[in-house]
Structures are given as C-alpha cells and as structure tokens.
A and B are shown apart, each in its own frame.
Chain A
Amino acid sequence: MPDDTDTELRDTIGRAVDTHAMTVVDDPLDAIEQRVARRRHRRHLVIGGSIAAVLVTAVAVAGALAMSDGDNEPRVVVSPTTTLPEPLFTEAVETMPKPPLAVRGDAAVVWNGAELVVWGGRVDVLNMGLEGEDRTYDDGASFDPATRTWRKLSASPLPATDDTPIGAPTASGVVIASGSNVAAWDSDANTWRSFDDAPSPVHDLAVDGDLALSYSANATLDLTTGTWTGLPRPPIELDRSASAWTGRELIVIGGPSTPFRSAVGVALDPQTRQWRRIADLPRDMFAEALAVDWDGTRIVAANYDMEAATYDPDSDRWTKLPSVPARFYEWYPAVRSAGDFTAVVMGQAVVILSADNTWVPLPSANLPWGPIATAQSNFRTQADHGVLFVWETDGDQNALHAIHIDRLIEQPSEIQVGTFTLALPDGWSIRSTQYDESNEFAQTVRVTIGSGADECRLASGPTATVGRESVTIDDSRNGLNWRRNAASTRWLAEFSTTDTVTVDCDTSRDARAMVKGVAPPGSG
C-alpha cells in the first residue's frame, strides 16, 4: 500500500504533469498513422556491410539506392531508422529464444537492419566436443527482435561446403556466399535467388546498393543481373585479411602469412573499380587475427595482441590507440561498431571504445557466455543502435545474446579490471587504461578512475605486493585473500597467485567494497 509520502509525491508530480500536458497537433492519431506509413517505406536496409560487421544508426544515411519495383518508376530508398525495440531490451544482458537450428559453428550471421539471419555452418566434433561425425549445414533461420521470434529460412540453393559461409545485408534481405556459390534471400517472400558462381571462393563480402564486392574473389557481383566482373589486381596481396565497408570504399587490411609482421592495407573504390594502397598500420599491429569495423567516421582495428588503432580514409592516417585492457583474453577478437559505441569482443571480454578514445571494460561476470574454446569459429557478433548481438556456440547448442551496450556505458557502475569486477563509486569515471605486457609472464591491466581531484589506480596482474607495511586481513569476502598497506591506502586482493588486483586510492577507502568478484578465464 502506498504510504503518505507516496500519495503526496503522486499528487504533486501528477499536477506538474498536467500542466505540461499541452499538445499542438490537431489530430495525433492521423499524425501517427502518417509516421507508420513513412516508416514502412524506409524499412529496407540499403547500406553495404563488411565481411563481419553491420552498422545502422538512427540517422545515418549511407547513400541512396534507386530500386525498380517492377511495374513502377524506380524509387529512391534512403537508409532506414532502426527498428530495434527499446523496452524489449531493458535488461542490460539478455539471452534470446533458442534458434530452430541444429548446433553449428562457422555460420554466416548477418544483421540487415530488421532481422538477424543465420545460415550454414558446420560441426567439427573434435573442437566442439560433440558426438558423431563432422558435418556441414545448408539451412538457416532469421531472428526478429521486434517479436523475439525465429523463423526458418526456405531451402536455399547453396550447398553446404567446408568453406565458412559469409553474408552481407541487402535492401531486401541478405546475400550469402558458400565457397564460390552465391545466392540472395528475400525476407518478405522467404525465397532465394541464385547468382553465377564467383570466380573464386568468397571469404569476404560487402554490398554497395546493387553491387556486391569481394576482396577474396577480387570481383564485383551485380545483384540485379547476377553476374560477376573481375577487378584489377590489388597493389599487394594480403594473406590474412579483414575488411570493412565505409560507404565509399572497401578497406581491407592484413598481411603476409609470416607471423609477427605489421599489417598493411588496400582500399577499393567501386565507382572507379580501382584499388589503392593505404598507409601501413602502426608497427605493433600484427596481421595475426585482426578485426576491423567502420564506426561512421573511421576504421577501428584490433588484434589478439590487444593492440588497436583507428584509420581515417580522408587523411590516410592511422592513429594508435591505447592497448585494449583485457587480460588473458587472447582470443580472436571481433570489432563491432554501432555509431554510438565500438565494442571489441575477445572471448569473455567486451571492451567498449568511448567517444574520447577511452576503453571501458565491461564486467565479464555479467556476460552470459562461458569460456570460448575456439572463438574464431564459435563467435559471431553484430551491432545496432546500442545493442551488441552475440551468437555463440556453447557445447551442444547455439545461443543469441543481446548486450545493451548503451545502457552499460551510459553510467557504468561496474567495470572489469583484469579478471576482477570492480564497482565504480557514484560519479566516478574511467580516466585511462593501460595493458602492460612488458613482462610477458606478468601481463597487467591498469585502470585509473577518478572523480574531481580524487583518483584510484587499479591494477590486475599476477604476484603483486602492497609494500612492506602489509597487514593481512582475515576476511573471506568474495572468496579473496586481502592485504592492505598499513602505512598507505593501498589494498590488494588475491584470488590465486596469478589473479590479483591492487587498489591504490588518493584518499582512504575500503577497497573491499569496490572489488565485487573475480572471473578468471575457464572458471565458467
């Protein structure tokens, strides 16, 4: 039952709401109906996608596509606003209903602005710890976040092959490549259309209006005629590559198969059909396990060495970022941008790049997926309008998770420092991060947080100390062993000899309230 204070508040606030309840539009119902009609016209996604990333923002206009709808004049369709439902994802982390597909890794997973489409894939029983024989799949399903439902795709003309399928969004659905076989799926009709075979297996795909682009096939596909046209050879060959579509160019970066060589890159302009070599990546950015995405104004690249950089195509310049502060998470990364945020996903780590180029490591304990055995085949990510979708293979099933990044970083209350979850005090924010691997056996993540003149320096790594004046605290809170330095404000929490965190604040603070828990990799 509401108490007197409650009733008083409701009355007071209610009266204030009433004084603001003034509208100007004469017929709101008519105004809303007109909006619905306008949204229906804008529904289909137009922008091209990169091999593994799709970006849609509420107002981005990546270009206009002239489409013929059969009998009528060509109509211009501009990029849509997102159709993601906001209250459906009020939880910061949610697992969606199970997909109606047999478990598989290495599927093509494509977000087209309205649906997440999954197609193909395979089971490698040894790596996935499953029974039976290795097998491949040629079926798929589509997830609609608006209704939180899956539907099976109709039978496709694409064969299941050992090549990892890849896809990109189109105005009416998706285009999928399985080896050299390529077909487009229409969402409204749930039908497929085959195209000519690509000149070589397709490992990357982007769509620019009516044209699909592929570095690996070194050709373009006309989506209206279904025919491939070869491209000139790029200025350098990239053995391992990752690519992103900027809306004007296909940027491809990678390197030779020799390990530990710095990555290089090329860019394709589909209008001129010419490749250009772009500036080389910073020296530490090895081509090994690189991932990239386009955030609307720049390319963001990260590799499994925790190195990261951005590229501005206008100035042809790379800018090194601070290393990604994710300790022990040396999985093949994914980089996903949705305008408002860019996420680097590595195994159990999700680290967000904020607008001022500060990294915000999200708490791993809140992420719904467990240790990743082989992230490259078992992980797929997409992002749109504040939500990061993560498709994963977990044992004998697949799962689709939605991580509401914009809610988690709007006012982060918890962050991940190494393997520890820490609570940020109210009004505090991250000031800087550092990934220190100067000692390869003692990699350390450092995060400085602060509010006004007050700061705390956090560091997670193995075998730390708090100094000679240490006092051991008999406190089993969160299963950790605690020590503090009696002469200063420095605290240390130890989970094991390889998982420690130190908390060093300018003003005296009980660090035990800040350290919420520990999630070492492999702990499940």
Chain B
Amino acid sequence: MTADEEIAASVRAQYTRLVGVVSMVTGSSHLAEEAVQEAFARAWERARKGYEFEHLAGWVATVALNQARSGRRRAASERAARARLAPAVDTSSDPDVALVVRAALEGLPGRQRDAVVLYYLVDLDVATTARVLHVSDGTVKTALSRAREKLAPLLRAAELEA
C-alpha cells in the first residue's frame, strides 16, 4: 500500500470516530473536525516523506488534541469551521458521561491525559499506547491506573443519574 493509500484508508475508517474523540474531549464539534483534518494533513505530509507511524490513528488523535488545546488556533479555526460547516451541531446538551470524562481529563497531567485518550477513547491497547507516546508500558499502566481511580466512581454516578 502506498503512503497515499494508507492515509486515505485510515481517513475512511477512522475519521468519524476520531472527530468523536476530539469532540468529546474539547466539547466542540466544530473544533474537532478542523483539528482532525489538520492532523491528518500533517500525517499525510510525513507519510510521503517516508515517516512510519507506530499507530496512525493514535498519532492523529494526539496531534488533533494538541491542536485543539492550542488557544491561538481555537478562535481562528472555529471561525473558519463555522464559515464552512453547517448546520451547527449542538453539544450543549452533552450526556453527563461526556461532561464527566471531559472534566476528569482536564484535571489530569498531560502525560496521563494522553494515555487515557489513546487507551479509552481511541481504544488502543497498552503496548500501542506506549509506542505512540514513546514511553514504557509501565508508564502507561501507571497513568491509566491513576486515571481509573478518578474516573470509575464519577462515571458510575453519572450513569446512574442518566
């Protein structure tokens, strides 16, 4: 498979879910589409230069979230997104689970947050998560363990209330 074919296949298979991941974490579907598209564009450039990804969807998710977190891009990309995309998707009535996950993620240090997103949201395993983040399996497990302690009781409560 050529680099172009690999990227195209990944876009077809992963784009919608990755938008869902970024949208849930950021609370903005406008921003999510912009960020995921930008991340795929960067991945495409690198693939053409021969860069080999440990896990393309994981890479795209991490880059897209970094993009979305950047305050400077947020205003510009939201304006661009609103100009191009319609109708707006209303995320104001987020299910409680999404709110809980988002709040919990915001409270995590960067490394833990990245591990949680890749493992629980992008649905990677520990070894792949570790390779994408260039850390050891042990580091990922520790990060997930700490995140689980925070998330599990909150999510159970949110589900009961829903």
**Among A13, A18, A25, residue most surrounded by chain B Cβ atoms (within 10 Å):** A13
B143 at the interface (CB under 8 A from A): no
Which chain A residues border B151 with CB–CB below 8 Å?
Answer: 9
Inter-chain CA distance A411–B38, complex, in Å, is 26
Which chain A residues border B134 with CB–CB below 8 Å?
Answer: 87, 90-91
- Among B62, B63, B66, B120, point to the contact of A9 (Cβ < 8 A): B120
- Among A9, A25, A58, A86, point to the contact of B72 (Cβ < 8 A): A58
Which chain A residues border B76 with CB–CB below 8 Å?
Answer: 59
Of the listed stretches A29-37, A242-250, A364-372, chain B binds: A29-37
A19 at the interface (CB under 8 A from B): yes
Which chain B residues border A87 with CB–CB below 8 Å?
Answer: 59, 62-63, 132-134
Chain A proximity mask over B1-33: 1 for CB below 8 Å, otherwise 0: 000000010011001110111011000010011
Chain A proximity mask over B134-161: 1 for CB below 8 Å, otherwise 0: 1100000000000010011001100100
- Report yes or no: B121 in contact with A31, Cβ–Cβ below 8 A: no
Inter-chain CA distance A30–B118, complex, in Å, is 26
- Among A6, A12, A86, point to the contact of B159 (Cβ < 8 A): A12
Inter-chain CA distance A6–B133, complex, in Å, is 20
Q: Write the nearest CB–CB distance from B104 to chain A, whole angstroms.
A: 10
A232 at the interface (CB under 8 A from B): no
Which chain A residues border B87 with CB–CB below 8 Å?
Answer: 24
A258 at the interface (CB under 8 A from B): no
- Report yes or no: A147 in contact with B50, Cβ–Cβ below 8 A: yes
- Report yes or no: B15 in contact with A23, Cβ–Cβ below 8 A: yes
Which chain A residues border B23 with CB–CB below 8 Å?
Answer: 20-22
Chain B interfacial residues counted at CB < 8 A: 60
A57 at the interface (CB under 8 A from B): yes
- Report yes or no: A85 in contact with B42, Cβ–Cβ below 8 A: yes
Which chain B residues border A22 with CB–CB below 8 Å?
Answer: 16, 19-20, 23, 29, 89
Which chain A residues border B101 with CB–CB below 8 Å?
Answer: 13, 16
Q: In this complex, what residue of A is CB-closest to B89?
A: A22
Q: Assuming A5-B152, A20-B29, is B37 touching A147 (CB within 8 A)?
A: no
- Report yes or no: A90 in contact with B152, Cβ–Cβ below 8 A: no
- Report yes or no: A24 in contact with B155, Cβ–Cβ below 8 A: no
Q: Write the nearest CB–CB distance from B2 to chain A, whole angstroms.
A: 14
List A residues 245-285 near B (Cβ within 8 Å). Answer: none
Q: Assuming A35-B38, A87-B62, is B91 touching A20 (CB within 8 A)?
A: yes
**Among B63, B120, B152, B156, residue most surrounded by chain A Cβ atoms (within 10 Å):** B120
List A residues 397-449 near B (Cβ within 8 Å). Answer: 407, 410-411, 413
Inter-chain CA distance A19–B152, complex, in Å, is 20
Q: Assuming A9-B120, A10-B123, A20-B29, is B44 touching A32 (CB within 8 A)?
A: yes
Q: Assuming A17-B17, A146-B45, A411-B109, is B98 touching A9 (CB within 8 A)?
A: no
List B residues 87-115 near A (Cβ within 8 Å). Answer: 87, 89, 91, 95, 97-98, 101, 109-111, 114
Which chain A residues border B62 with CB–CB below 8 Å?
Answer: 86-87, 90
Inter-chain CA distance A147–B52, complex, in Å, is 9
Q: Assuming A23-B19, A147-B46, is B120 touching A29 (CB within 8 A)?
A: no
B79 at the interface (CB under 8 A from A): no
Q: Assuming A17-B17, A22-B29, A407-B110, is B152 touching A146 (CB within 8 A)?
A: no
- Report yes or no: A9 in contact with B148, Cβ–Cβ below 8 A: yes
Inter-chain CA distance A53–B106, complex, in Å, is 34
A39 at the interface (CB under 8 A from B): yes
- Report yes or no: B98 in contact with A16, Cβ–Cβ below 8 A: yes
Q: Assuming A9-B120, A36-B41, is B11 touching A21 (CB within 8 A)?
A: no
A452 at the interface (CB under 8 A from B): no
Which chain A residues border B152 with CB–CB below 8 Å?
Answer: 5, 8-9
Q: Write the nearest CB–CB distance from A89 to chain B, whole angstroms.
A: 9
Q: In this complex, what residue of A is CB-closest to B15?
A: A28
A15 at the interface (CB under 8 A from B): yes
Which chain B residues border A86 with CB–CB below 8 Å?
Answer: 62-63, 66
Inter-chain CA distance A411–B107, complex, in Å, is 11
B127 at the interface (CB under 8 A from A): no
Which chain B residues border A13 with CB–CB below 8 Å?
Answer: 97, 101, 120-121, 155
Which chain B residues border A21 with CB–CB below 8 Å?
Answer: 16-17, 19-20, 23
- Report yes or no: A90 in contact with B114, Cβ–Cβ below 8 A: yes
Q: Write the nearest CB–CB distance from A216 to chain B, whole angstroms.
A: 35
List B residues 40-78 near A (Cβ within 8 Å). Answer: 40-42, 44-46, 49-51, 59, 62-63, 66, 70, 72-73, 76
- Report yes or no: A24 in contact with B89, Cβ–Cβ below 8 A: yes
B86 at the interface (CB under 8 A from A): yes
Inter-chain CA distance A58–B66, complex, in Å, is 12
Q: Write the nearest CB–CB distance from B101 to chain A, whole angstroms.
A: 6
List A residues 38-74 near B (Cβ within 8 Å). Answer: 39-40, 57-59
Inter-chain CA distance A259–B140, complex, in Å, is 54
Which chain B residues border A14 with CB–CB below 8 Å?
Answer: 120, 123
Q: Write the nearest CB–CB distance from A512 to chain B, whole angstroms.
A: 22
**Among A14, A20, A23, A40, residue most surrounded by chain B Cβ atoms (within 10 Å):** A20
Q: Can you list 5 A-B contacts (CB < 8 A)? A: A9-B152, A20-B19, A25-B33, A91-B134, A146-B51
Residues of A within 8 A of B (CB): 5-6, 8-10, 12-25, 28-29, 31-33, 35-36, 39-40, 57-59, 83, 85-87, 90-91, 144, 146-147, 407, 410-411, 413
- Top 5 A-B pairs, shortest CB-CB distance: A21-B20, A35-B41, A20-B23, A20-B20, A24-B85
11 more A-B residue pairs beyond the given contacts A23-B15, A87-B132, with a C-beta to C-beta distance below 8 A: A5-B152, A13-B97, A16-B95, A16-B97, A19-B20, A20-B98, A21-B19, A24-B86, A24-B89, A28-B40, A87-B63
